[in-house]
Amino acid sequence: MSAPAKPKPVVQPWAEPFWEAARRQELHLQHCEDCHRAIHYPRVACPHCASTNLGWRRASGRGTIYSFTVVEANAPSAFTADIPYVVAIIRLEEGVQMLSNIVGSDPADLMCDMPVEVVFEPLDEEFTLPKFRPIS
Ligand SMILES: [Zn+2]
């Protein structure tokens, strides 16, 4: 029996620019043109000032690990072959947080506040996933 396919992101229309940029291996964040703050996850209105005057800007791709967990075991799933893998909240330089994976490092070497940078992993022809690796 083959492993099940990994689930694909569910893309709301207002989040399409995020995924289009990721396909080009660029990290873009929604930006409020009225209060000038970055927004993540993408929304139809600014969570700070309720403005719908929102745009997109390329992010630096750098941040720090706010928190993380190492998945050592789970029920059989599409992710079983990846064990151990790291699920982390990344605090981006733009001031927003992003849930992602830390890759390219031994999980035992990770620490909170460690600087990381974005890398892109294609899931299929439609989706490329932003992930993060420690900056050496
Ligand atoms: Zn705003």
- Per-residue pLDDT of 67-89, as tens digits, reads 999 999 988 899 999 999 999 99
In angstroms, what is the span from residue 44 Cα to ligand 1's centroid?
A: 11
Largest CA-CA distance found in the chain, in angstroms, rounded: 53
C-alpha 36 – ligand 1 centre gap (Å): 6
The whole-number pLDDT of residue 1 equals 55
> 99-114: per-residue pLDDT in tens?
999 999 999 999 999 9
Residues 6+ apart with CB under 8 A from 130: 22, 27, 98, 100, 118, 119, 120
Place of tokens 């291996």: 25
Do residues 59 and 27 lie in contact, with contact meaning Cβ atoms separated by under 8 Å?
A: yes
The per-residue pLDDT for range 16-67, each reduced to its tens digit, is 999 999 999 999 999 999 999 999 999 999 999 999 999 999 999 999 999 9
* This prediction's pTM: 0.93
Burial class of residue 35, CB neighbours in 10 A (0-12, 13-18, 19+): middle
CA–centroid distance, 87 to ligand 1, in Å, is 29
Cα of 111 to ligand 1 centre, how many Å?
A: 32
Ligand 1 centroid from CA 99, angstroms = 22
Asked if residue 15 lies in contact with residue 22, where contact means CB atoms within 8 angstroms, the answer is: no
Distance from residue 115's CA to the centre of ligand 1 (Å): 27
pLDDT beyond 70 at 135: yes
